[in-house]
Amino acid sequence: MENYLIEIAHLVLRYFHVVAGIAWIGASFYFAWLDNSLQTPPQEKSDKGISGDLWAIHGGGFYEIAKYQNGPQQMPTTLHWFKWEAYTTWITGILLFSLLYYVGADANLLDSSKSDLSKINAILSSLASIALGYTVYRLLCNSFLVERSYLFTATIIVLLAFWAWGLDSLFADKAVYIHIGALIGTCMAGNVYHIIMPGQRYLVAEVEAGRTPDPKVGLKAKRCSIHNNYATLPIIFIMLSNHFSHTYTHQYGWLVLIALIMIGMWIRHFFNLKQRHINKPSILISGIAAFFALMLAIAPWSSFAPRTNAKQVSNQQAWSIIEKRCTECHSATPRSAMFSSAPAGLMFDSMESVKTQSEKIYTRTVINQDMPLANLTNMSSEERQTLAIWIEDFRLKNKGM
């Protein structure tokens, strides 16, 4: 029953996290587009203090949008703020993260082949890595570096690489990705909470008092929102990354992540420029090319080689390995205390289902080697080898050879 309740909490948190994330990133994309697309207004509008204007059509109506950089002469009665999208995404994200990686630390956070941290120490290190990472980011944002965007970006990338490498020496592969995601998400939500919102409250107060706001405050908030904008594509990938075990289980998974983050930011850069009518397809093309070059570089080449081992493995031998190491979880009635139903809906209750899923089994137990989960059922490398031979033979037979 307890596991079932955890499953429900997981569903609710993940669902709200995704919905809130869509709202937040959607708003971020929209406002970035808006800002980049504003045009110089006609004279009568700029006389009123309008610094940029734009017309749009959507949902069967026309919209006239005007931006007052320094606020309107008079505050409107209703002013819409955008903050709860960010806060809700962060809160549900941290709760989801805690549920999966702290409550579920044995399966998702700890990796005894990398470090022998106790559960409590692992959780404390995990929290510290995020808190410290955020502090470093805030300090950097207050330093001279922030005005030199290329140098700032390079520093952030080097620091992220250092963080990912450090996390990789402590935690399970999948957890490394999510930690970097949690750190980036915390910086993004922190930007909203610590910089953007106070900046906007200041702006409103100044306008209400009839004073001209100090443009530096607006500029600082704008810079944070640009940082958030560049983080969007990378963080969406990280949110989805646990579906792509070939990335995080790679020997240099942490470096693969950094490369993917850079590619995401580079592609975002293309769109940001394009919205300002600076069309540089070379950025998009090089970004896509870099992605495929990376996928090529991390391809599991050895598994494509024809097998040379003459050893034969019987169905019975393969079956007994699966039964011993997998069906504790992957069964219609899991024996594991962690699952009330088969994880990923994958059940190995008959030889038929093992055969139909054999390619998936091969990927996760032979190539990526991230199944059994956290190797909780102690599968040996000989068993992986045996299973590999059986599946490779099965492949040949299926091809009619």
Question: Where do contacts with ligand HEC occur on this chain (CB under 6 A)?
Answer: 325-326, 328-330, 336, 338, 343-344, 346, 360-361, 364-365, 371-373, 376-377, 379
Which position has the token pair 């950097």? 140
What's the CA gap between 159 and 165, in Å, rounded? 10
In the complex with ligand HEC, the residue whose CB is nearer, 269 or 330, is 330
The burial of 204, by beta-carbon neighbours within 10 Å (0-12 exposed, 13-18 middle, 19 or more buried), is given as: middle
What's the CA gap between 99 and 314, in Å, rounded? 41
In the complex with ligand HEC, the residue whose CB is nearer, 207 or 373, is 373
CB of 99 to ligand HEC, least distance (A): 13
In the complex with ligand HEC, the residue whose CB is nearer, 108 or 232, is 108
What's the CA gap between 141 and 152, in Å, rounded? 9
In the complex with ligand HEC, the residue whose CB is nearer, 37 or 386, is 386
In the complex with ligand HEC, the residue whose CB is nearer, 39 or 333, is 333
Number of neighbours of residue 284 by Cβ within 10 angstroms: 17
CB of 345 to ligand HEC, least distance (A): 7
In the complex with ligand HEC, the residue whose CB is nearer, 94 or 361, is 361
Q: Which residues contact 304 (CB under 8 A, 6 or more apart)?
A: none
CB of 366 to ligand HEC, least distance (A): 9
The burial of 155, by beta-carbon neighbours within 10 Å (0-12 exposed, 13-18 middle, 19 or more buried), is given as: middle
CA distances from 372 to 167, 249, 314, 325, 375 (A): 21, 13, 21, 7, 5
Of 307, 324, 283, nearest to 385 by C-alpha is 307
CB 41 within 8 A of CB 50: yes
In the complex with ligand HEC, the residue whose CB is nearer, 187 or 373, is 373
CB of 326 to ligand HEC, least distance (A): 3
In the complex with ligand HEC, the residue whose CB is nearer, 17 or 330, is 330
CB of 379 to ligand HEC, least distance (A): 5
Q: Which residues contact 72 (CB under 8 A, 6 or more apart)?
A: 48, 49, 207
CB of 170 to ligand HEC, least distance (A): 19
CB of 297 to ligand HEC, least distance (A): 23
CB of 190 to ligand HEC, least distance (A): 29
What's the CA gap between 335 and 32, in Å, rounded? 50
For ligand HEC, the nearest residue by Cβ is 326
In the complex with ligand HEC, the residue whose CB is nearer, 232 or 336, is 336
Of 186, 66, 95, 176, nearest to 136 by C-alpha is 186
CB of 6 to ligand HEC, least distance (A): 12
CB 107 within 8 A of CB 370: no
Number of neighbours of residue 17 by Cβ within 10 angstroms: 22
Label residues 308-339 b or e (16+ Cβ within 10 Å = b).
eeeeebeeeebbebbeebbbbbbbeebebeeb
CB 72 within 8 A of CB 49: yes
